[in-house]
Structure 1
Amino acid sequence: MAPVYPKFDTNKSGHLKVSSVHSVYWEECGNPSGVPIIYLHGGPGGGIEESDRQYFDPAHYRSILFDQRGSGKSTPHASLEDNTTWTLVEDIEKLRQHLGVDKWIVFGGSWGSTLSLAYSETYPDRCLGLIIRGIFTLRREELEWYYQQGANFLFPDYFEPYEAAIPKEERGDMMAAYYKRLTGDNEEEKLKCAGAWSRWEVSTSKLMVDPSYIAKADDPKWALAFARIECHFFVNGGWMKDGQLVDDAHKIKHLPIVIIQGRYDVVCPAKTSWDLYKALGGKDNSNIEYKIIGDAGHSAHETTIEEALVDAAEKFKYIKP
């Protein structure tokens, strides 16, 4: 498998006003006349990192990345106003038009896979194909497994501080209890809960617990956007019918799609990717490649996951815009 590409700079960047409230930060890298590929980050609320560019051959791809509403360099920071799955889908389409892209490959992991599915199922004619990892379709069963009961059986020592931030009498619905605090007026409690929520996720993202990765949650600005926006999306069920993204998978089954899944992904367990794979036609659909990585968890920054993502992007070089 191929390693990620060496670091390289952006060609240009800017902010696009997408509503009366929000401006999203975007950047473009690689070959200006290359095959367009859009990178959709996780969370929601995670924002992009410099390393996110390194999956794509800069000699071949015109790679486009952006911070979703409220995330990273987008403004206003950590804002929940007018921030839904479907406003983000429209932001992607506005960015495509702004940058003069006809069609592009859609690339995303975790929440980025959710948004990739939502966008491609809404605008299939604008997609050349999908590369998606650590599949998350925002079904209630997926949320309850991770934030209520399920993943705590594997990571009880890391779940305990997450649970301890909420009084016992409110622990019957942890997401609702966190949402009340993350959107409340008590700034101290808001920051405390943002840190606890975010630390739970980064603690469980890799097969081998990585203290340096956990340290991301020590940044209060990052943690606040990450926790507030995630919780906002999750308590609202993504503003979609439960199971909608799997039910509507038939709309994109004609596209080339690579699904990459860590076998020991606790955040987004393999069952979801398997359900999606079957909804896309499974082994009877030659357009779909389903790849389980046997020695990895959830994070895109595990070596074997990184290599699989680079390999998928290399395989997609046959695609022409």
Structure 2
Amino acid sequence: MESTSSLPAGTDADSFSAHRLKVDDQHDLYLERHGTRGAIPTVILHGGPGGGLNRAALRSFALARHDIVLFDQRGAGRSTPLAEIRGNTTVDLVHDLERIRAHFGFERWMVAGGSWGSCLALAYAQAHPERVSALRLHGIFLGGQAEIQWWFHGVRQVFPDHWERFANFVAAEERGDLLQAYYRRLISTDMTVAQEAAWHLRNFSARTQTLCPDEAHVAQLLESPRKYLPVARLFTHYCINHAFMAEGALLAGIDRIRHIPAEILQGRYDMVTPMASAWALHRAWPEARFETVTLANHTSSPAMLAAQRAASDRLADRIGNLADD
């Protein structure tokens, strides 16, 4: 049993359980269950790709109302093999979600995710709409080429100093395509090269998540060197493969999920997943409740946490009312 010393306040240690689930011949996933048994089945999808589960996400739910699953996606966190990119695609992760749902015996569940997690949540819901009771999405990422190019190149308009250091790690002739340049290094068998590239990518990410970077937050993001390479390798693996989806696929598939109760939350000053994608999703899916969180960026801020908690409660109310009909 996993230690419960770091669980959020209000979590009953007796309701916490850790699990492992082998999903194919290679990948073995780490899962956690929190909250209240018999309450609304819920799964929280982490970002990245490669970010790993984050128990802090539990604070955005009333644990008495939710039976929550957290898990490390393929190659991330405590799932094994760590940083493995073989057999690691969006379709694979969608299949894994179905295996996890069946493992816990849930008929349907609420799916929550931010950043990459919002992309995976939409892909899963469109593949299995009958298994999704509600969607709570924030920091919207749709897997588009413009979104990927923004992170590697466009953000220099806001952070030219940090971008220059990021770009200068590679040779001048490679700087026109930083994604390719970094990916080549991150999959190198020379671990010194791979680790150095991972640090530069992590440092750039840490310093460009907010308009006013907090040095304490940056230091926190940089304090676990062993995480640099898995996150960087998986992140670039998905970016270089366009999230394993056709351009515009998630917007084109909205009709499959239009009926699902949903909340879309977007930080006005999100520098990682800018508001344009959330707005495009809102325009394609006006039935979903959309909220701009003015004082929020890409990181977990008090304003975004409050908005997430309120959205979770509204969705829980709607699910309860639908069940009573």
Matching of residue 176 in structure 1 with residue 183 in structure 2: no
Pairwise CA distance, 1:249: 1.5
Corresponding residue number in structure 2 for 1:11: 16
Contact 1:56/1:63 (<8 A) preserved = no
Matching of residue 189 in structure 1 with residue 188 in structure 2: no
Which consecutive segments of 4 or more residues in structure 1 shift more than 6 A?
Answer: none
Counterpart amino acid of residue 71 in structure 2: F
Unaligned runs of 5+ in 1: none
Matching of residue 58 in structure 1 with residue 63 in structure 2: yes
Matching of residue 111 in structure 1 with residue 110 in structure 2: no
Counterpart Cα distance in 2 of 1:113 and 1:213: 23
> What is the correspondence of 1:106-255 to structure 2 with a 5 Å cutoff?
106-148=111-153, 150-215=154-219, 216-255=221-260
Corresponding residue number in structure 2 for 1:69: 74
Counterpart Cα distance in 1 of 2:189 and 2:238: 20
Corresponding residue number in structure 1 for 2:281: 276
Pairwise CA distance, 1:212: 2.6
SS of the residue 2:77 aligns to: coil
Counterpart Cα distance in 1 of 2:85 and 2:10: 33
Counterpart amino acid of residue 212 in structure 2: M
Counterpart amino acid of residue 316 in structure 1: L
Counterpart Cα distance in 1 of 2:52 and 2:146: 25
Q: Which moved more, 1:42-51 or 1:215-224?
A: 215-224
C-alpha RMSD of the superposition: 1.3
Counterpart amino acid of residue 177 in structure 1: A
Counterpart Cα distance in 2 of 1:157 and 1:219: 24
Counterpart amino acid of residue 241 in structure 2: N
Count of aligned positions = 310
TM-score (norm 2): 0.92
Matching of residue 102 in structure 1 with residue 101 in structure 2: no
Inter-CA distance 302–316: structure 2 relative to 1 (3 Å threshold): same
TM-score (norm 1): 0.93
Contact 2:109/2:132 (<8 A) preserved = yes
Counterpart Cα distance in 1 of 2:203 and 2:254: 32
Counterpart Cα distance in 2 of 1:161 and 1:128: 45
Deviations along 1:4-61, whole A, 9 cap, x unmatched?
x735246211110011111110011111110011000000000012212221112111
Report sequence identity in percent. Answer: 35
Q: Which moved more, 1:210-219 or 1:238-247?
A: 210-219
Counterpart amino acid of residue 276 in structure 2: K
Unaligned runs of 5+ in 2: 1-7
